[in-house]
Each structure stands twice: as C-alpha cells, then as structure tokens.
Amino acid sequence: MFCDLADSTGLSQKLDPEDLRDVIRAYQTTAANVIHKYDGYIAQYLGDGLLVYFGWPKAHENDAERTVLTALEIVQSISTTLNPRLKEKDNIELTVRIGIHTGLVVVGEMGGDGRYENLATGDTVNIAARIENLADPNSIIISEATHKLVYEMFNLQDLGTPSLKCVRTETRVYKVLGTVSQLGASVDDEVKGGPFLVGRDEEIGLLIRRWEQCKRNLGQVVLISGTAGIGKSGLVDYIRAEVQNASFQCIEIRCSSYHQNSAYFPLIMALESAVKIEQSEAEEHKLGKLEHYLNSIGLPLENTFPYLCKLLSIRPGENYDYHKSFAPQKQKQLTSDAIVAWLFKVAQQNPLLAIWEDLHWADPSTLEVVGYVVDQIPTVPMLAVYTFRPQFIPTWRQHSHITPITLNGLELEQIKALIVHWSGQFALPEEVVTHIVDKTDGVPLFIEELTKMLLDSDILRLDGDRYELTGPLNSLSIPDTLQDSLMARLDQLSTAKEIAQLGSVIGREFSYKSIEAIHAGAKKSLESGLEELLSAELLYVRGRIPNATYTFKHALIQDAANNTLLRSKRQSIHLAIADFLESNRNEVGQNQPEIIAHHYTEGHEYEKALQYWLKAGSFARQNSSHSEAIAHAQRGLQIVGKLPDAMMRVDCELNLQLALGTSLIATKSFAFPQVGETYERARILAQEIGDPERMYAVLWGLCSYNITRASHEESKQVGEDMSKLSIKGNEGIYIVTTIGLGIPLYSLSSFTDSVHHFGLGIPTYSKDHHDMHVRLFGMDMGTFGRSFGSHAAWQAGQIDTSLTWCNEALDIANEVAHPFSRAVSGAYAAMLFQFRRDVPATQQLAASTIALTREQHFSYYLAWGMIIHGWCVGVQGNPLDGQKQIENGLIMFRDTGSRRSLPYYMSLLAEVQAISGHVEQAISTIDRAIKEADSINEHWWFSELHRMKGDYLQLTSPSQIEDAISLYQKALDICQKQGALTQSLRAATQLAKLHSGQHQQQKAIDLLKPIYHSFQEGHDTRDLIDAKELLSSLGVDI
C-alpha cells in the first residue's frame, strides 16, 4: 500500500519548515496507529508518503481485506480526528491518496553505508505506486489483483484500465467506496437458495432433524468443526436458507479476527443489525430504535434495556441510571444475562436459528454468553449452530442436546462433482482433474479456488463442450485467494517454518532421515520443529524417529512453504537432497529414480537429472506404468537443451524420444499423432548421431505408425529402409527387418510375399532377444512376428502354420510376462479365431484381451478386443447387445487415430446387423466398408466384403441372385490377384451353392473342387468342412 499526502507542495508554501515537520509527523503517527492496528508493516517513510506491507513479516489469512480497511480508516482518522486539530491550530486540512496492489515480492535487506532497510522488489511495489498516482484526494484505488480478494467485502467502482507509467501489462483498477455492510446479518435477510453442496448429505440431514426438534420446543446445539475451507459456512448457509425460506427467524453472530479482544463485539454487531442501527445516526434515534425493538419482541426493559444500551454505547437516560451503582463485574454479568434474554425472547416468538460463526476468534465475553446459551437452550425453540476450527476447544459441559459434527475432506467422486459444478458443466482434461484432486485433498474451498484459477489461466482453452490443455500444469502457482490463508498458517509457527520449508522441497512426504541429512541446525531443534508442525496439524506422521515418515496435510500447504524460499536457497536444498538420496542408495534410489531426477532437475544439475529421468522411464516401462514413463520422458525433454555439449544433447534427446514413443504407442495407439511426431524427430537425431541400432528402433516406430494409419506405401518404404541397415553381431534385429517388410505387404494384399518374409524372420528369434526388443521396440518381436504372421498364413491358405504361429506367440508372451506383448498376442489371436469362425475360442481370447488392456490402459488393443467380443455376442443370439459393443469399440478405435483394419471391423458390425434382421442396414455398412477400403488402399478383406454383400442381397430378394453371382465372382477375382486362398474358398463355396441351386452341378464342381484341393492343411476348419460337405452333396468323392 502506498499512502501519500495530497498537495504537499501547497502545504510547504503555507507552513514554515518546523510547522510542516510537525504536521507530517502528526499525519504519520495517525496513519501508523491504524496500520499497526491491522498488523501492517511500515517499510519506508518517504517524506510525506508511506510504503506499507501486509503479509510480511507476518501473514494473515485476510491481508488484502486488512489493507483496504486500513486505508479506509486512515482516511477517516485524518478527516475526523487529525484535521479538526490542524484546522484549529494552522487553518489547514490534510487529504491523502492511497494505492493498493497484491502480488508476490522478494523482501530482503538493502542499502549501504551503514543504513539498511527491508525492502520488497518486484513489479508489485511499482504497480501500487502507479495506482496511487491515479487517486483523487481522500480516495483509495485498488488493482484487479486486490479486487479479486476483497470484492465481496467492499463497495467498489470500476475505473477501467488506465495507462500506468512503466507498467507493461494492462491493469484494471477500482475505487473503494466503503464497506458492503457491518459484520452480522439482519434478522430479516432473505436467502432464496442454499449453496451448492457435495458430500454433505448426512450432515444436512442431521441439521434438519435438529431444527425439527427445535420447532417442537426442544432447543438444540450443533457444533460444526473443521479446518479453514472445509465447508463449515456452506453447511450453515444451507440450513439458513431452509429456515428463512420457511419464514422462520435467523440471527447471525460472526466473530472477527480483528476484534478478538473487543468485549461482546460480534453480539454488538448482531444486535445493531437486528435493531437496524446505523453508526451515523444521532444517539437519540439509536435509543428510540432500541426501545421500540425490545418492546416489539416483548422483552421487559427494566433488567435488560440499560445493559443493552451500554453494549451499544448509548446512554439509557435518567430512568435507568440505577445500573451504574453495580460493580463492574456485576454489570458485566447483567449484560450477559440481558443478551441471553434478548436471544431467548426472539426464539419464544418464533423458532430461531442462531448462527455463531468462527468461535475460534471470539472474545472471552462472547464465549461466556455462548456458555450460558448452551446451558439454557433446551427451554426455548432455538437451534444454535456454532462453527469453529479444530484449535478451538469448547469449555462447556457435554449435554444430550449438543450434537458435534466434524467435517472431513470430500471423497474422489464428490471432488469430481464439485469440479464439474465450478467448470460450468464443461468437461476438463483428466490430467487437470487429477491435478485438482491431488492438490486440494478434498477441501471444498481449495477445489473451488484452484478450479477457478485454472479456468481463468491461459493453459485451458474451451473447445465445444470441453476444455483442452494448452500448457504445463506445473507452471501454475497457488491461487491468490488462498495465498494469505496458507501463508498465515505458516507464519504462526516459530522455528518450525524453516523445517516446513525444508520438508516442502523434499516432497509431500518425507522421511526423518532425509530431512535430518539436510538440516543444518541441532537435532533437538529439528525434532521440536517437527513436533510443532504436528501440533499445528500441518503434518501427519507415521512411525517413530528415526524411522518416522511425515506427510503434509495439504499439498497446497507444501506449495506455500516451498514458495516462501528464494530460488537460490531452494536450488541448494534440492541438490543436497539429490546427493543424499544418491549416495545412500536407499529404496528411493532403487525404486523411485524419478525423485532423484526431480531434485537434480530443480538443483540445475542437468546431466545427472537426465540420467535419472531415463532410468525412471525405463523402470516405469518395466512395470508397464507407461503413463508415468511418458511423464518422465517429457520432463527430460524439457531440460535436455540445457546440456552444454551438443552431441550429448543429441544422444540424450534421442534416448528420450525413443522412450516417449514406446510408451505413447502402449497407452494411446500406434496411430496417435504424437507418435509420428516423436519418431520423425528421433529419425533426425539418429541420422545425426549415426547409430544403426537406435535407427532400427526409430524406423520400426515409423513403420508401426504408418501401418495403423493405413499409410501402407509409406510403411513399405520404411520397411525397405530397415532392410538396408546393417548391424553386425545382432541377430535379434533381423526378425524386425522381416516384420517391417511383411506387414506392409500384408496390408497391400501381397499375402504370399508377406508369409515369405515372416517365415524368414520367425526361426531366428530367441527369448534371449526379449530384453533388447522391449528396450528398443516396446514389445517382444518374436511374439509380434508370429502374431501378425499367423494372419498372413491364414490368408495364404497355410491354415495349420497359421495356428502354430498363433499358439507360439501366446506361449512366448505368457512366458516373458510382458503385458504389452501379451495384449498383442491376445488381440491377434482373437482376430485369427474369428477368421476361423471358432466362436467360443474367439470370445475367450477377446474377453481376456479386454481385461488385460483395460487394466493396463492399452486403448488400441482394448478397442480391438471390444469389437471382436461384440461380434461373438451378436452371432450367439444377442445381436442388439453385440451391435452396441461393436459400435462402442469402433468409437474408441477411431479415437486412437487408427484406420487400419477398419473395413474388417465394419464387416463384423454388418454381420450382426444382418442377424438382427436389419439386412438393408447391413448392406449399407458393407458399402461404407468398401468405400473405406478404397479410401485407405487396404484391400486384405476386400473379397470378404463383396462375398458378404452377395449373401445379404439374396436375403433381401430372390431376384437379386444375378447380382449376388456377380459379387461372388468379383470376390474370386480379387482373391486370385491377391493370393488370398482362404477367402477364395469362401467365395467359391457361396457361388457353387448358387450354381447348384440353378441345377448347374458340374459348373459348381469345376469351380469349387480345384480350390479345395489347393489346401494342404487346415481340413478340420469350418471353411474346408463346409466346402467338403457341399462337394460331397454334389457327388464328388473327397
């Protein structure tokens, strides 16, 4: 706060220097008295100006409010107290201009030549000074930052965004017109509806039941205890709204942190509000209003009126002078009795809700009245609700009419419901929701303010009905609305604040041994500091020293303690922690390398930090914690540019990009856009560094990306690039080369060549290659080669080979126990058995794939499993449920960015639609699948699409037989070009049936028999059994 005398130049011209000095001293003294009353700190006397800090050296939970109240009272004190004296003595009157701004500063000792002052540095001071220049005489201007903290307490006039000299950012400013109202609300206040409450149904029900008892003339007391922000006021607001909307009475008695030593202060405010007394009124008007009010409620005046008058600083008149003869203690007792009599008389008129808020700030006299009310309340229809924080311990005796309520934090789903409410029903990214949940610990006020701050920040952008994240969450600070409250709790500590700061740098949870290692003081001071933090309920403890582990009660308390450290000090603490953890090689170093990485990062020891980020990512991937592995890689990428050596930067970034790509594939899908971006960047780095092994990993990533996005020509080119690389002495790489060629050939429907390449690589695999495969490619390539190769073999008519490769893939995946490899083998096996029309086996494999991928968050293969499982459900007599499963799976599949195999999946949907009797719909789906296949140049299921359309046309009308024949023939032509022997058997079987039905038996035999005899294996499968039975019915001896 800047406070400056207006027209000081004019004063210097009117007064001689000595008189001017005395005037300025009087002004400074008047202002200083007010400032000290509200616990402000005068940093500088600047001639006729004052620079004042609130929140340093000691913070309060309402420093912004204190600042504005100070400013108002300075203006009032000068006008009403100082100016009359100056007017009489020097014929002058003083006016002041005041500017207030809120923000973060660094306060430290500055100066020289033996003169030092604690001064704040930063934009906050400059902006406050510039705002003060805008103020008219005897006016107060505040910034928007301060406005956000006090707008509910004061009447403010928006002055727009004037230009401020030397301030780059636009700043809206407001003029303070006065306070909104006195503390304490009117009995007649009307509340239309209660607040939005979540997770308080039991407490609300209890309050309502106690109110119902009160209405039956059974007075009740409810004690609501909880930490700041936990929802005490929200609960009170709810019951008040219920009571007042039902036309019952309510009196609010609000204790104030400013008046803890002012006798009866909250009761005075409540009585003035009930009587509707204004401070500016003449005393006789106040007296008349009080007398009229007490008569209206039927309260006998003899034993109450003089004491209530005294309470309100009103002279009661000669008729009531007798009270002066009593001793002070007796008068005090009678005053308390008069207050109780007033409250009880109101209740006797009509059931009364008496709300006593914040008893932890109550003065002793008020607490005395509270005790009287508690003892006597069963005799009147009154519900007294007392709210207080845990540090307040009631001194009155327990009674059956007292009900305690202790409010705890909200549960997860309740937190999410509150987030939805404050986000305006727009969906927030899951990462943001998790951030709010982790930081707020179920405290409703924290949830509200952090959500609002995020919505107001630049890192969220509204896109339709949901918000998108546009920046890093870790760049956000504590909401300004919570800063004072959190800092006040820390500043109430003595030496323990330093311990809290050390602990906050270690983390939300820290061990005694770790904080002991970095604490420079005596062991005794450390332990006493920890004990003080426990007593203040800022920490929880588990175990005993020296094996104790401490946890900050709230993440935001940890953040607040951390924010009070200067950057240089915080950096040195991080380095000390990292060195301790690394040198001790304890459990953290072994199992949580990300903690060491974090401390080295914050300590600016980037080379070591990157070593541990890579180690943390590897550890996470080994445990299939791919989301965490992504976060570790991204943290590393944020700092890799800070390495001094260019080639070291390239080498380290390449490792990070490869690690990121592997985990993105696992959690998002091969086709996720960021996968392509990651591997393209990695390709540039691998070319620069000239490492063929890692180039293989890069090319494999690009090959996978292009395949699943149905960019088959591009994937073929990448596969050819892989085949040109030569790595001596690494046999485990060869299978990757053959897979890189075999997959695009399959996708481009060159089945014979595809099987050839898979067949070359599969025999070279050894389980000894597994670790290297997982490190470079994210999965076991022996598993993947056999899984994909089994599909190519089935297409080419090598049915038994196909089954062998599939079973080997499942066995290897289970043996190496690598979750992503198991997901791959299970999904490909489910599809293969669907090809084979083996419904029970398909359903079992699909179900197990769904369970695994859902648990591991492998969305690509989860969608795959859902679609195939839906087909199983549909063909087994429940087509509607099956269709729904397939459609849900297709939505999830498309969300991954994938298009590969989409025509095939659409054919499964069409089959279930046809079974449910929606044949026209099935034909439409097939037409869309054909169009999709042409669009992505993926025709490996093209023959089946035409064959199925021919089947469905016959179901719609017998006249469609010629069109069906044409479609079957086209399917056969497609198979002949592709070498798709198994699909050709299906098309031939259907066409032969039609020929037979048209009495063209020989034509049917000539078509089907040579294709059937082309098969050297797989004669026990559904397709060959159907073909054999048809040939036998035509008289062919098989």
pTM of the predicted model over 0.75: no
Side-chain half-sphere CA neighbours of 668 within 13 A: 19
Q: Give yes or no for residue 978 having a pLDDT over 70.
A: yes
- Give the model confidence (pLDDT) of 347-366 as tens digits: 999 999 999 999 998 999 99
| pLDDT tops 80 at residue 166 | no
- If pLDDT is split at 50, 70 and 90, which confidence band does 492 have? confident
Query: Which amino acid would we find at residue 227?
Result: T
CB 512 within 8 A of CB 550: yes
How many Cβ atoms sit within 10 Å of the Cβ of residue 935?
Answer: 12
* 698-to-212, 649, 722 alpha-carbon distances in Å: 72, 17, 10
What is the C-alpha separation between 771 and 732, in angstroms, rounded? 10
Of 683 and 57, more confident: 683
Lowest mean per-residue pLDDT among 423-427, 652-656, 998-1002: 423-427
Question: What pLDDT band is residue 382 in, cutting at 50, 70 and 90?
Answer: very high
Q: Which of 189, 181, 187 is nearest to 278 (CA)?
A: 181
Amino acid at 307: Y
- Both tokens of 399, joined, read 């009674």
Most confident range, picked from 238-252, 609-623, 1023-1037: 1023-1037
- DSSP letter string over 539-597? EEEES-TTS-EEEES-HHHHHHHHHTS-HHHHHHHHHHHHHHHHHHT-HHHHH-HHHHH
**What is the pLDDT at residue 143?**
92
Pairing of strands 173-179, 402-406: unpaired
Give one DSSP letter per residue of 130-179, joined into a string: HHHTTPPTTEEEEEHHHHHHHTTTEEEEE------TT--S---EEEEEEE
Whole-number Å distance between alpha carbons of 950 and 989: 12
If you write DSSP's letter for every residue of 736-788 in order, what string do you get?
Answer: HHHHHHHHHHHHTT-HHHHHHHHHHHGGG--GGGHHHHHHHHSS-HHHHHHHH
Contact 100, 143 (CB under 8 A): yes
Q: What is the pLDDT of residue 192?
A: 37
Give the whole-angstrom CA distance, residue 401 versus residue 632.
56
Q: Give how far Cα 756 sits from Cα of 122, 590, 619, 751, 1014, Å.
A: 71, 45, 37, 9, 18
Q: Sign (positive/negative) of CA torsion 143, 149, 155, 158? A: positive
900-958 pLDDT, tens digit per residue, is 899 999 999 999 999 999 999 999 999 999 999 999 999 999 999 999 999 999 998 87
C-alpha 254/C-alpha 361 separation (Å) is 9
659 phi and psi, to 5 degrees?
Answer: -65, -40
What is the pLDDT confidence band of residue 590, given thresholds at 50, 70 and 90?
A: low
pLDDT of residue 193: 41
pLDDT at residue 184 in the model: 37
In the structure, what pLDDT confidence band is assigned to residue 475 with cuts at 50, 70 and 90? low
Cβ-in-10-Å burial (0-12, 13-18, 19+) of 921 comes to middle
d(CA 837, CA 992): 20
Q: What is the per-residue pLDDT for 48?
A: 84
Name the nearest CA neighbour of 672 among 887, 899, 888.
899
Is the distance from CB of 610 to CB of 643 less than 8 angstroms? yes
Kindly write down the DSSP assignment for every residue of 720-733, as one continuous string.
HHHHH---TT-GGG
Query: pLDDT of 170-229, one tens digit each?
Result: 889 999 998 875 433 333 333 334 467 888 999 999 999 999 999 999 999 999 999 888
Q: Which of 66-70, 230-234, 887-891 has the lowest mean pLDDT?
A: 230-234
- The pLDDT assigned to 190 comes to 34
- Average per-residue pLDDT in the chain? 89
DSSP string over 89-136? HHS----EEEEE-----EEEEEEETTEEEEEEESHHHHHHHHHHTTPP
Percent of the chain with pLDDT strictly greater than 90:
55
pLDDT tens sequence across 615-660: 999 888 887 788 899 999 999 999 999 999 999 999 999 999 999 9
DSSP conformation letters of 167-217: --S---EEEEEEES--SS--TT----S-----S-HHHHHHHHHHHHHHHTT
**Residue 336 pLDDT greater than 90, yes or no:** yes
DSSP conformation letters of 412-442: HHHHHHHHHHHTTTPBPPHHHHHHHHHHHTT
Place of tokens 């700092």: 639
**With contact defined as beta carbons under 8 Å apart, do 719 and 704 qualify?**
no
Which of 136-150, 310-324, 602-616, 996-1010 has the least mean pLDDT?
310-324
The vertex-437 CA angle with 436 and 439, nearest 5°, equals 65
Task: Give the bridge partners for 157, in sequence order.
Answer: 175
Task: Using DSSP, state whether 522 is helix, strand or coil.
Answer: coil
pLDDT for 313: 86
pLDDT value at position 188? 33
Pick from 725, 741, 742, 721: nearest CA to 733: 725
Mention every residue, 6+ apart, whose C-beta is less than 8 A from residue 676. Answer: 702, 705, 706, 709
Q: What's the pLDDT band for 821 if we cut at 50, 70, 90? A: very high
Distance from C-alpha of 598 to C-alpha of 13, rounded to nearest angstrom: 63
Return the pLDDT at 706: 87
> What pLDDT score was predicted for residue 942?
96
pLDDT score, position 191:
34
Tell me the DSSP string of 354-366.
EEEE-GGG--HHH
Please tell me the predicted confidence (pLDDT) of residue 913: 97
Within 10 Å of residue 87's Cβ, how many Cβ atoms?
Answer: 12
- Greater confidence (437 vs 187) lies with 437
pLDDT of 741-794, one tens digit each? 899 899 989 999 999 999 999 999 998 898 888 888 888 999 999 999 999 999
- Strand-pair category, 382-388 with 352-357: parallel
Token pair recorded at residue 155: 């009447």
Length of the chain as a residue count: 1038
Condensed to tens digits (0 to 9), the pLDDT of residues 281-334 reads 888 889 999 999 999 999 998 889 989 998 888 888 776 665 566 777 888 899
E-strand ranges in 285-379 read: 352-357
Q: What 3 state SS string does 51-82 have?
A: EEECCCCCCCCCHHHHHHHHHHHHHHHHHHHH
**List of residues 6+ apart from 145 with CB closer than 8 A:** 101, 102, 103, 480
* 21 burial via Cβ count (<10 Å: 0-12, 13-18, 19+): exposed
Q: Which structure tokens are listed for 736? A: 């990757």
Best CA proximity match to 1014, nearest among 980, 971, 973, 974: 980
Residue 183: its pLDDT value, please? 37
Taking residues 544-550, report their average pLDDT: 90
What tokens were used for 588? 């953290």
What are the tens digits of pLDDT across the range 694-728?
Answer: 898 899 889 888 888 878 788 888 878 887 775 55
> How would you classify residue 979: left for phi > 0, otherwise alpha for psi between -120 and 50, otherwise beta?
left
CA 745 to chain centre: 45
Contact 790, 826 (CB under 8 A): no
Least confident window among 139-153, 208-222, 313-327, 413-427: 313-327
Number of H helices, E strands in the chain: 46, 19
DSSP code of residue 21: H
8 Å CB contact between 443 and 409: yes
Give CA–CA dist 319/148, Å, rounded. 51
> What is the per-residue pLDDT for 922?
97
Point out the least confidently predicted range of 513-522, 794-803, 1016-1025: 513-522
Instruction: State the pLDDT at residue 320.
Output: 67
pLDDT band of 1026, cuts 50, 70, 90? very high
% residues pLDDT > 70 (the chain): 95
Which stretch of 729-743, 896-910, 987-1001 has the lowest confidence by average pLDDT? 729-743
Among the listed residues 294, 340, 356, 348, the one whose alpha carbon sits nearest the alpha carbon of residue 320: 294
